[in-house]
Amino acid sequence: MAGMPGTERFSALSHKDFRLFLIGQTISLSGTWMQSVAQGWLVYSLTRSPLYLGIVAAASALPIMLFTLIGGMVADRVPKRTLLLITQAMSILPAMALGLLTSMGTVTVWQIALFAFVLGAINAIDIPARQSFLIEMVGKGDVVNAIALNSAVFNGSRIIGPVIAGLSITHLGISACFFINAFSFLAVIAALAMMKTTGKREVKSEGIIRDFMKGIHFLKDRKEMMHIIGLIAVFSLVGIPYINLIPVFAAEIFHAGPGGFGILVGASGIGALTAALGLAAGGNIRNKPRFMSAAALCFSLSLITFALSKVFLLSLCLIAAGGWGMVSYLATANSYIQISVPDELRGRVMSVYAFMFLGLVPLGNTLMGISADLIGTTNAVLSGGMLCLASSILFSLKYRRHQQLQNE
């Protein structure tokens, strides 16, 4: 594969199984983002309430907090390709059920929340298996590039899916998005079926609680990592959940309808994709703390300005800038931690990272939903952005002090 264009820079593409994986992921994740947009618009259409948007988003994310550590245990005990085939097949069911209920006009917000929870539970098993399967497809030498390219596909689908969803809702109806997503899982199933890599079974866990606490104890002695993960926690609680309130901005502030909603969500994907591709092509960043500080400030300031903006095109640019800042921070933080952690503790420390990043999301979605209901959507997003900005400034100051102490 040495002659394949781009494989020198994007080395993971030299592996056939990984190329199959990326193709399947691109189709399936685009369908997933279609469903996410349709689900948000459906909830808002039924309730006109930002509180219910937060509740349904929390129902989707809550299983990640509850079951992801268990999912990691399962991934060590079952061949990963087999496990992924099962989770992808199971993911078809809630999407089909939502499509049928919506097309019949009988769907309720609580049914949407229930199916969101079911899909979240499936994802809690799927995510650790999928992440740990990457290294088995490409090997240790190309895993960093594989992670960056996988992130690029994820964020590229954030552009494709929402735009198609907006068009589908307008011309075909909301139920079409759920049906298309159900069929999109077949692409991943087909890709997995054609792979030679099956996935190893590695039973190394000492138990969920003990594994988790060992990662915590390691982090307690590494203040710079605690600062990184602490800022991720703030973003997860009061920053990232703004995406679930975009239907309110699209409908009430910009009067843009479902098409405008899809474009707004897609703009975030453009910024995120730019960040992921830049990191994949640019190689290792020398001064990661400085870059993380800049990315965190970019996300925070973009969020604040977006909350105040009344101009649609300006808001598109701000959402894109925010997407760039968030993905740049998270991806760089991920690589910084992985490089700094000893091999025997990497999985445990990364489980803490994932737990803080994904596990706090349901709390954040609920908090933002309640805040938007009490003080208004604009004020809720503005307040969240200001908290993110204060935390980002504190992070920058602490890192600067840490580096000064190291240089003395």
CATH code for the domain of 261: 1.20.1250.20
Residue 60 in any domain: the answer is yes
Number of domains composing the chain: 1
Neighbour-count burial for 172-199, b at 16+ CB within 10 Å, e otherwise: eebbbbbbbbbebbbbbbebbeebebeb
Mean pLDDT for the chain? 84
Contact of 117 with 60, CB cutoff 8 Å: yes
Q: What is the pLDDT of residue 1?
A: 40
Q: What is the pLDDT of residue 408?
A: 58
Q: What is the pLDDT of residue 211?
A: 63
Q: 350 or 361, which is more confident?
A: 361
What does the pLDDT average to over 366-384? 90
Which residues are within 8 A (CB) of 174 and not within 5 positions of it... i.e. 6 or more apart? 38, 41, 42, 45, 102
Residue 287 in any domain: the answer is yes
- pTM, two decimals, is 0.74
Per-residue pLDDT at 207 exceeds 70: no
Residue 388 in any domain: the answer is yes
- Is residue 290 exposed (0-12), middle (13-18) or buried (19+ Cβ within 10 Å)? middle
Angstrom CA distances, 97 to 34, 53, 179, 228, stand at: 15, 20, 9, 40
Round to whole Å and give the CA distance between 166 and 256: 11
Round to whole Å and give the CA distance between 104 and 176: 12
Residue 360 in any domain: the answer is yes
Per-residue pLDDT at 49 exceeds 90: no
How far is residue 407 CA from its own chain's centroid?
A: 36
Q: Which of 66-80, 140-154, 205-219, 322-336 has the highest mean pLDDT?
A: 322-336
Q: Which of 299-308, 368-377, 395-404 has the lowest mean pLDDT?
A: 395-404
Residue 273 in any domain: the answer is yes
At residue 5 the predicted structure's pLDDT band, cuts being 50, 70 and 90, is: very low
At residue 402 the predicted structure's pLDDT band, cuts being 50, 70 and 90, is: low
What does the pLDDT average to over 378-388? 95
Per-residue pLDDT at 260 exceeds 70: yes
Tell me which residue of 69, 123, 131, 54 sits closest to 94, measured CA to CA.
123
Cα dihedral across residues 153, 155, 158, 159: positive or negative: negative
Per-residue pLDDT at 3 exceeds 50: no
3-state secondary structure of 228: helix
Residue 131 in any domain: the answer is yes
- AA identity, residue 63: P
Tokens of 149: 């390219």
Q: 205 or 53, which is more confident?
A: 53
At residue 61 the predicted structure's pLDDT band, cuts being 50, 70 and 90, is: confident
What does the pLDDT average to over 110-121? 94
Contact of 53 with 183, CB cutoff 8 Å: no
Q: Which residue matches tokens 């606490």?
A: 213
Angstrom CA distances, 143 to 12, 18, 59, 135, 184, stand at: 7, 11, 32, 5, 26
For 305, other C-beta atoms within 10 Å of its C-beta total: 17
Q: What is the pLDDT of residues 128-178, one digit of tens each?
A: 778 778 777 887 677 777 778 888 888 788 778 888 888 898 899 999 999
Round to whole Å and give the CA distance between 328 and 298: 10
At residue 80 the predicted structure's pLDDT band, cuts being 50, 70 and 90, is: confident
Q: Which of 37-41, 90-94, 130-134 has the highest mean pLDDT?
A: 90-94
Round to whole Å and give the CA distance between 384 and 376: 12
Structural domain that includes position 269: 11-407
Residue 293 in any domain: the answer is yes
At residue 283 the predicted structure's pLDDT band, cuts being 50, 70 and 90, is: low
How far is residue 289 CA from its own chain's centroid?
A: 22
Angstrom CA distances, 389 to 247, 297, 385, stand at: 24, 6, 6
How far is residue 280 CA from its own chain's centroid?
A: 17
Residue 1 in any domain: the answer is no
Angstrom CA distances, 229 to 44, 51, 111, 237, 368, stand at: 32, 28, 34, 12, 20
Q: What is the pLDDT of residue 204?
A: 55
Q: What is the pLDDT of residue 110?
A: 93
